[in-house]
Amino acid sequence: MASFRNTIQKDAVLKALHEENRHMTAEQVLAKVQTQNPVISRSTVFRILHQLSERGDILRIRVPDGADCFDCTNTPHYHVKCTDCGEVFDVDMPVIDNLEDKIADTHGFIFTGHNIIFSGICPSCRKSRTA
Amino acid sequence: MASFRNTIQKDAVLKALHEENRHMTAEQVLAKVQTQNPVISRSTVFRILHQLSERGDILRIRVPDGADCFDCTNTPHYHVKCTDCGEVFDVDMPVIDNLEDKIADTHGFIFTGHNIIFSGICPSCRKSRTA
DNA sequence: ATTTATGCAAATCATTTGCACATAG
DNA sequence: CTATGTGCAAATGATTTGCATAAAT
């Protein structure tokens, strides 16, 4: 069976995610990691983020029309994307249980989950608009 | 001001969308259009789909981890993505009004809308699994 | 020793864009 | 005539992958 090995790169990625404690793109993780350890490659960061999210250790947030984000938490929650700057933020709202039950006709589909992405204007973009 | 012109290509794209009457990827639109008019380029299809969705004539559905879909309807609705084959289907469920009001702490965010993507197993993938 | 990981560069996939030419208004 | 549209090929951006080497178990 495939087992996982501990490497400096994996530690660095996890450390970066925990220090920020919010979702980061792979690019942001790479940048942060490289400030400490300059010799770590982009593909390795992508591979590690992929592996960790497959394992369920971190959350991969598929951002429509933008780079995916990774969150060191593993409890599901919803997100907002600012339509101005494209940043993604957490939403303070409990996950809706059994949302799937509201579907009238399932056509034989088996629903396993759902994801909500809100859109809006983030506080800082709002300020720079009125300014 | 910029105004729009009618071209054979635009007619062809709209015709393709209306004939299928369900969401298609740009690639699918291109394929269908090329059966009638072989000399229409990929970029033109993309440009037209972009233009039409900007105008609000059609719906652009951002599919996480997959090609965007376009729907000739302009009334919003939710979608399911089959985790097996990746196909996207409409969901028979009314759009939730005021979902944004359920957000506890908005941190100064202005919410303008939301989108829900369900995940599940489509009927045909389910069949081929048990087979 | 054997298997998993890494770094690099090249590949992929969906989509956009620059540019010269065509065409609708 | 003049602005908008088209076709092509090349560019983009995010992510993945093949391959030889390195490191963890």
Contact yes or no for A16/A32 (Cβ under 8 A): yes
> Domain A76-130 - what CATH class?
alpha beta
Strand segments, DSSP code E, in chain B are: 24-25, 59-61, 69-71, 79-82, 88-90, 110-121
Tens-digit pLDDT profile for residues B59-98:
999 998 899 999 998 888 999 999 888 889 999 999 999 8
Could you tell me the pTM of the whole model?
Answer: 0.89
Q: What ranges do the domains of chain A cover?
A: 8-70, 76-130
DSSP B102: G
pLDDT of residue A131: 57
Task: Find the CB nearest A111 among B64, B109, B120.
Answer: B120
Residue with CA nearest to D24's C1' atom: A5
Phi, psi of B90 (to 5 degrees): -75, 150
Terminal C-alpha separation, chain B: 59
pLDDT of residue A1: 54
Residues B8-70, CATH architecture: Orthogonal Bundle (1.10)
Task: Find the CB nearest A120 among B111, B116, B122.
Answer: B111
pLDDT of residue B76: 87
- Residue A31 CA to D23 C1' — how many Å? 24
pLDDT band per the 50, 70, 90 thresholds, residue A14:
very high
Tell me the pLDDT of chain A averaged across its residues.
91
What are the C-alpha distances in Å from B95 to residues A58, A105, B25, B53, B117? 30, 14, 23, 20, 12
Contact yes or no for B26/B67 (Cβ under 8 A): yes
pLDDT band per the 50, 70, 90 thresholds, residue B116:
very high
Residue with CA nearest to D3's C1' atom: B2
pLDDT of residue A2: 64
Q: How far apart are CA B79 and CA A100, in angstroms?
A: 12
Out of A57-71, B87-101, B116-130, least confident range = B116-130
**More confident position, B106 or A116:** A116
Examine the pLDDT at A129 and tell me if it is beyond 80: no
Tens-digit pLDDT profile for residues B2-53:
689 999 999 999 999 999 988 999 999 999 999 988 889 999 999 999 999 9
Cβ pair A120:B104 closer than 8 A: no
Contact yes or no for A23/A71 (Cβ under 8 A): yes
- Residue B37 CA to C20 C1' — how many Å? 23
Cβ pair B65:A62 closer than 8 A: yes
